[in-house]
Chain A
Amino acid sequence: AQRVTQPEKLLSVFKGAPVELKCNYSYSGSPELFWYVQYSRQRLQLLLRHISRESIKGFTADLNKGETSFHLKKPFAQEEDSAMYYCALKGAAGNKLTFGGGTRVLVKP
């Protein structure tokens, strides 16, 4: 079975401070991990995926298979980063995504 856990429902940081959103997963094979973001009144958008190993909007995430984690980080948060963030896992065999519960990020001025 696939499971994704985001332990923090809400993260509140000041502008310019670092932010880290935790994501842990449970999967017996080799998963593909994603971070999706949903800004206020907008659709869910792909932020980044672990196989791309890229930085989007200053965010990075590294897959740690030993700790089964895929934490999302940004060194200097901006007000426009305020949004809902979902970590998601796709198993090797199928197409479907399993989502974590989501973390709401609030960046205060």
Chain B
Amino acid sequence: GAVVSQHPSWVICKSGTSVKIECRSLDFQATTMFWYRQFPKQSLMLMATSNEGSKATYEQGVEKDKFLINHASLTLSTLTVTSAHPEDSSFYICSARDRVQPQHFGDGTRLSIL
């Protein structure tokens, strides 16, 4: 079945640093990748949709300068949280799909900003 790999699984860093999270589709070409944020005991909230080779589409209320998304190839998308602060601490999940399959999800990345 389709596999989506997300790295790192957990990161702790100081306030003010930037953090990059990678999302890879391992056995299919992901024409579209999605980035979600999940707070404790809450549902997944879509942050942005990323199509290969084009700019990401951000959901209302998500700062595109804060959460930089790059989808340079059909198997890789990255999310960079720039100048991270404690309020950015959360669980970030990516998913990927091609034109046929439904979304397949990564394991998620737990981001803790001190």
Interface centre among A94, A97, A100 (most CB of B within 10 A): A97
Q: Which of B34, B49, B104, B106 contacts A46 (CB 8 A)?
A: B104
Q: Contact at B46–A100, with CB atoms within 8 Å?
A: no
When distances are taken between beta carbons in the complex, the residues of chain B under 8 Å from A102 are: 42-43
- Is there a chain B Cβ closer than 8 Å to A17's Cβ? no
Cβ of A70 within 8 Å of any chain B Cβ, yes or no, is no
A43, A49, A98: the one contacting B107 at CB < 8 Å is A43
Nearest A residue (CB) for B2: A46
In the docked arrangement, what's the CA distance between A45 and B103, Å?
9
Q: What's the Cα separation between A45 and B106 when bound, in Å?
A: 9
Q: A43-B107, A44-B93 are in contact. Are A99 and B44 (CB under 8 A)?
A: yes
Number of A residues, CB within 8 Å of B: 18
Name the CB-closest residue of A to B57.
A96
Contacts of B92 in A (CB 8 A): none
Closest to B4 in A: A43
Q: Which of B4, B34, B93 contacts A96 (CB 8 A)?
A: B34
Q: Do residues B106 and A95 form an inter-chain contact, with CB atoms below 8 A?
A: no
Q: Which residue of A lies closest to B44 (CB)?
A: A99
Q: Complex: how many Å from CA A32 to CA B2?
A: 20
Give the residues in chain B near A94, CB-CB below 8 Å. 49
From A34, A42, A100, B43 is in contact (CB under 8 Å) with A100
Complex: chain A residue closest to B59, CB-CB = A96
Given A96-B49, A99-B44, A100-B43, A43:B32 Cβ within 8 A: no
List the interface of chain B (C-beta within 8 A of A): 4, 32, 34, 42-44, 46, 49, 93, 95, 97, 102-108
Going nearest first, the 3 A-B pairs with the smallest beta carbon separation are: A44-B105, A101-B43, A43-B107
